[in-house]
Amino acid sequence: MSNILADISKDPRVLDIIHAALKEDIGTGDHSSLSCISDSKISAARLIFKDTGIAAGLNIAYVILKLNDPDVEIEVFKQDGDAVAYGDIGFTAKGKAHGLLKSERLLLNIMQRLSGIATVTRKAQDKISAYPTKVLDTRKTTPNLRVLEKWAVTAGGGANHRFGLYDMIMLKDNHIDVSGGISNAIQRAQQYLKDHQLSLGIEVETRNLDEVQQALDAMPVQRIMLDNFSPELTAEAVKLINKRCETEASGGITLDNIEQYAAAGVDFISLGMLTHSVKSLDISFKIII
């Protein structure tokens, strides 16, 4: 997994996030460390996983450490995307104590959340491993941290849905109701793409089989979302669509019932819980000398 995972720490957006977060945390200085530890003091620390899950954010931690101490020495034991268990060491770092202590909280905050996202994503994808269905994230992310959280989904083996409002047309219930129905919404979206010479996919949300048929009658669309359908109704909808476009199940799906939706034959299952209510993985960063 870690061999094909993109190194998100090189993304300029991530570097902007790190710089802003360090400024927020350090402010005029780490007065706790400045007041009692010599600037020349060299120490070592290790990152320890205290839970079972998927590691995510290690490369970001290295950037944070290097920004606070360019001379810090890091020995790597785990890679982003690796499975970890209680007691596993992700890396050790040796350098100025001030740099280690200034880095501690930010690298843990980022790693704990991203590893939590990667962990629940892996659990969801493993639940449906017998099927070709792919787990997707949503836009239910922490403001300004979307690039990190969506990357963490890929670290767990999932895939990304649209990144924002600009890279796909997604006609949800509110768009459809305001437009006067599915047919109107789709036709206007198709015309909009032509008028503005845009090449974007169109996804339309449906709430029942009648709306699925309306979407099919207004084709072409890239994907039909089946929102809050039961697994049984999802299977009926997939049969009705008959591979004329992609299918996505969403709403009311949990780790307990996700396999039923995959068995219904959908191409994708989107889960808001991957990012909006995930439990962070327990990780510590301990000074050892």
The residue type of 163 is: F
Domain that holds residue 230: 127-276
Q: Are residues 111 and 147 in the same domain?
A: no
Give the max Cα distance, the chain.
Answer: 73
Indicate if 154 and 102 belong to the same structural domain.
no
**pLDDT over 60 (residue 3):** no
* Shared-domain flag, residues 12 and 148: no
Both tokens assigned to 91: 């890396």
| C-alpha distance across the termini of the chain, in Å | 33
2: in domain = no
User: Does the pLDDT at position 165 exceed 80?
Assistant: yes
- pLDDT for 289 equals 82
Whether 71 and 192 share a structural domain: no
Same domain, 110 and 138: no
Please check whether residue 18 lies inside any domain of the structure.
Answer: yes
**Co-location of 72 and 175 in the same domain:** no
Where are any strands of DSSP class E within 179-282?
Answer: 202-206, 223-227, 246-250, 268-270
Does residue 143 share a domain with residue 112? no
Same domain as 175, residue 146: yes
Residues with a catalytic annotation lie at 105, 140, 172, 205, 227
Over residues 87-103, the pLDDT tens digits come to: 999 999 999 999 999 99
Q: What is the mean pLDDT of the chain?
A: 96
Number of domains the chain contains = 2
Contact 54, 119 (CB under 8 A): yes
Q: Determine the length of the chain.
A: 289
pLDDT of 1 > 70? The answer is no
251 shares a domain with 156:
yes
Banded model confidence at residue 6, pLDDT cuts 50, 70, 90: confident
Position 2 scores a pLDDT of 38
Indicate the pTM of the whole model: 0.95
Whether residue 1 lies inside any domain: the answer is no
pLDDT score of 4: 54
